[in-house]
Amino acid sequence: MHSLLMPFTTMSKSGSDTRLLRTIDLPYYRVEVLADGLQSLIRELRAKRFDTWAWYSLAEAADQLAVQQQAPEELVAVGHLKERWNQVGVIPYPHQLSTAKRVIFEMQGQAILADEVGLGKTIEAGLVLKEYLLRRLVKKVLILTPPGLVWQWYYELMEKFDITAGIQRTQWDWEYADILIASLDTAKREPHASIITSIPYDMIIIDEAHKLKNSATAAYRFVNSLQKKYCLMLTATPVQNDLKELYNLIGLIKPGQLGSYRSFKSNFVKDKRTPKNPQQLKELLDQVMIRNKRNEGTVQFTKRIVHPIIVSLTPKEREIYERVTEFVKESSRHTGLANILPLITLQREVCSSFLATALTLEKMMASMEPDQLEKPASLLRDLAEVKQNSKCDALERTIAQLGGKIIVFTEYKASQQYIRYRLERAGYHTLAFDGTLSRGKKQWIRHMFQKEGQILVSTESGGEGLNFQFCNQIINFDLPWNPMRLEQRIGRVHRLGQTRDVHIFNLITKDTIEEHIVYLLHEKINMFESIIGELDTILLNLKLGKSFESTIMDIFLAHEDAKQIRQELARFGDRILESRADIDASSLWELL
């Protein structure tokens, strides 16, 4: 017998459990495993301490024996992952464990995970997947996500569940990778779709599944054609405007659960947002859908503490701001609102840094007629001459008063570079995080920031896909106008696993459009203190017909007086609050 096997198969301490559990036949060996030895083998397997194939095979067999001895309706994965979770700081919450058990033992692996935002649907899905892998019930797995979440899924599975998945890059990956993460947008297109639909999958996981609400889309038809034994669909908004959306999603997970659409409409639909027989419908939904809510004691989130920092512009900065604003309004009168995006960008940048403003103005001038260049050229020269940035002065003062790790958010690459220049000159070591980095470099920057960095300067695109719960201080150097983008920033640190209150410092230029935006997002709709619910649903329910940013810009361009702008923004804020109340009161949402 191999010497490595001896301590675990033939020896047992005095007074310990020497019951023979099982005889394991390996090539050239027959091994008798004792109760004490079994646990030792499992620990060695999970620590990956083995150096021969026989040793590995024995450890694998012991692990499977432990799975078989588990109580029938207990999660094997919880014990298996205990040490790993201790290392990476994962705390499985009761609602997540309960959800995983229901999916596996009651729903036979077919479920919509519809928890409210921030309650850890990815953790629940990973736990279910790990359980099936350990029980040898699943081997071939496909995980479909929006493009921006592919790498986040990869890191979550690897870090928290010790699951190494492949990331789809070529059409050959579909057949050769056992566990594959891919963009749904890629998967639904040919030649990929034909390959995927021919493969019998053990398990399919679909993130952001509400994007499949329309049965007429190619994505819906593609997912509906997949061969699958188990299926999980993740969405915080399983229904947005119409009961038919709910019917379509249920049809993907369990066809026939709600009958034909004709019978569903007859039995359960009063109008598109109001159900008939709601209790009966809820009972049917509960068989395939789990929705945990924050107000049911699932998770106690830490507080958000907001610190507004008002920045007064110098006379020279004020003059430049007024001239840029006048240029924006004058240009909008000449060109109309059809090409308003560059003007919105310019108006937002002037509240960030003059460097970013100058670069955008220079790009705009490239497409102007010669007789239109005099004013912007003069403005560009003056922008280049302004050496002071009052916001960066305030940023340095704020950072000097703080300890610990800090993320500074800006929307613009030019502002990011200028902020880093100023902070490095002031003696701080900074790291940059933005959309130009590869996924591997982003992960490395995150690692460096966690281990030894103090200040991370991140652009908007850099804030997507990775989580920073180890940090609890954010400085918004400039503010996005769209509340969804603001929530995404805060959500990088204020999420499940954050153990400290989150401090949000907002640098606000006085008497500018930025001050009006803060009034709308902070005072009017209380964006900073609490998650406003399903923001995408609320904004969709507004039926703006254009972007959130364009709606604000229309108000700004239509009124000269600050008081009038404030009044119009107040009315807009009231519409947002009414939309939220309308959703909260909807009998459709009471089903969930």
In this structure, of 89-93, 116-120, 256-260, 498-502, the range with the lowest mean pLDDT score is 116-120
- Contact criterion met (CB below 8 Å) for 262 and 268: no
Q: Which residues pair with 271 in a beta bridge?
A: 274
Preceding peptide of 191 cis, ω within 30°? yes
**What pLDDT score does 272 carry?**
73
Residues of 44-65 as b/e, b for ≥16 C-beta within 10 angstroms?
A: bbbeeebeeebbebbbebbbeb
Tell whether the model's pLDDT for residue 64 goes beyond 70: no
State how beta strands 406-409 and 455-458 pair: parallel
CA 574-576-578 angle, to 5 degrees, is 70
Determine the average pLDDT of the residues in 250-256. Answer: 90
Average pLDDT over residues 265-269: 87
* pLDDT of 15 over the 50 cut: no
Whether the CB-CB separation of 502 and 490 falls below 8 Å is answered with yes
Burial class (CB in 10 A: 0-12, 13-18, 19+), 87: exposed
Q: What is the mean pLDDT of residues 241-262?
A: 87
Residue 17 confidence (pLDDT): 47
Pick the residue with more confidence: 496 or 107? 107
Cα–Cα distances in angstroms (integers) from residue 501 to residues 41, 86, 173, 396, 426, in the given order: 42, 22, 43, 22, 28
Confidence of residue 353 (pLDDT cuts 50, 70, 90): confident
Q: Which helix (H) or strand (E) is 64 found in, with range?
A: helix 53-69
In terms of average pLDDT, the best of 116-125, 373-382, 391-400 is 391-400
φ, ψ dihedrals at 367, nearest 5°? -105, 10
Among residues 530, 545, 539, 533, the alpha carbon closest in space to that of 573 is found at: 539
Q: How confident is the model at residue 16, as a pLDDT?
A: 45
- CA 72 from chain centre, in angstroms, equals 34
Top-confidence residue, 283 or 38:
283
Bridge partner residues of 29 (DSSP)? 26
* Residue 556: Cβ within 10 Å count: 22
